[in-house]
């Protein structure tokens, strides 16, 4: 299975995907790394990034597009199940509003009347590392269940 290419030194998401920087990883294989957003819109907000440095969707090699989105789909299913959410919001920015210049897809758990309006994304924090680890475990377990 192809990946997107080499990592770039100094890129936060390359460092997380390579295991060089700590994160609450919920899934990783040869195509993607998926981990909790450190500043989630809602708890359980996961970022899916390709292995190898790619800045935008248009830079993602065509042979990786399908496998990448298969993983995004699996993560969306797992976030919904693991967080007992009614659904998910899946989004991607290309350059504008892209806080880290590495392709990443947001998978955000959603429930009716959760307060999210349009594209206003209020951010929250996990109470502590223990809470983040517990939530990552829930999503990881749902991913294992759906892929086995």
Which are the catalytic amino acids? 104
Neighbours of 51 (CB within 10 A): 24
Considering all CA atoms of the chain, what is the largest pairwise distance in Å, rounded to the nearest integer?
42
**CA atoms lying within 13 Å on the CB side of residue 88:** 24
Conformational region of residue 77, where left means phi above 0, alpha means psi within -120 to 50, and beta covers everything else = alpha
């Amino acid at each position: 299975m192809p990946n997107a290419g080499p990592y770039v030194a100094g890129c936060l998401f390359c460092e997380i995907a390579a295991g060089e920087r700590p994160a609450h990883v919920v899934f990783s294989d040869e195509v993607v790394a998926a981990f909790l957003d450190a500043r989630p819109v809602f708890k359980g907000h996961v970022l899916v990034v390709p292995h190898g440095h790619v800045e935008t969707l248009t830079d993602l090699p065509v042979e990786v597009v399908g496998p990448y989105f298969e993983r995004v789909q699996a993560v969306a299913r797992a976030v919904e199940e693991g967080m007992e959410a009614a659904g998910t919001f899946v989004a991607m920015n290309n350059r504008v509003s892209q806080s880290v210049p590495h392709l990443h897809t947001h998978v955000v758990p959603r429930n009716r009347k959760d307060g999210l309006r349009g594209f206003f994304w209020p951010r929250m924090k996990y109470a502590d590392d223990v809470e983040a680890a517990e939530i990552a475990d829930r999503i990881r377990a749902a991913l294992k269940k759906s892929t086995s």
